[in-house]
Amino acid sequence: MFSISTLVDVVRIPPSLFGTTLKKAAVNILKEKYESMINADLGYIIMILDAKVDEMGKMIAGDGGTFHRVQFEALTFYPKLQEIVQGEIVDITDFGAFVRIGPTDALLHLSQVMDDYLKSDVKSGMILANQSGRTLKVGSTLRARITAVSLGKAAAMGKIGITCRQPFLGADAWIAEEIKKSTGDSDKPAKEAEVEAS
């Protein structure tokens, strides 16, 4: 889930940035420190949006920089358990696929794709279903549910697990087929079914 979080910190403005505005210097320092960081409480910190810097800073003996309290807003992404997400397959492996959701990739294990015997073809970048003939490939878009989230300090990139083994989850084309079956209107074009799905 994307959200805007308000945070407070103290930034050190080095003498090399004294020629720029206080706000611009603080935002640049905050960007270097926080952007692309994973925090156990906030999730993925994507971008620093705005900052309010106290003009009156503090100095420490022997340090040429000034220290300022700053309140700032950051765009964050925190994946929540059971949340439904839209994603795109970016890589196929022997054990499943990596799906881009927001700023990170989640693992869709072969066992979580569907109730069918699946074969992963890494060379051609596809997952093939034996009975239904359905396929997933790099670039396919799908809808999935988040089943596992690990954003602790040990996980440098964070780990997210997703599943498509529930009704109305999976590749967009599969969902359109399920909608057709559930409404009992097989004469309706696929495009109309897709519109109803969203």
Domain spans, the chain: 2-77, 83-182
Q: pTM value?
A: 0.73
Are 87 and 100 a contacting pair, CB within 8 Å?
yes
Assign a CATH topology to domain 2-77: Dna Ligase; domain 1 (3.30.1490)
Distance separating alpha carbons of residues 84 and 164, to the nearest angstrom: 10
Instruction: Return the CATH fold of 83-182.
Output: OB fold (Dihydrolipoamide Acetyltransferase, E2P) (2.40.50)
Q: pLDDT for 32-72, tens place per residue? A: 999 888 888 888 899 999 999 998 888 888 888 899 999 99
Q: What are 16-29's pLDDT values in tens digits?
A: 888 888 899 999 99
Domains 2-77 and 83-182 share a fold: no
Cβ contacts of 133 within 8 Å, gap of 6 or more: none
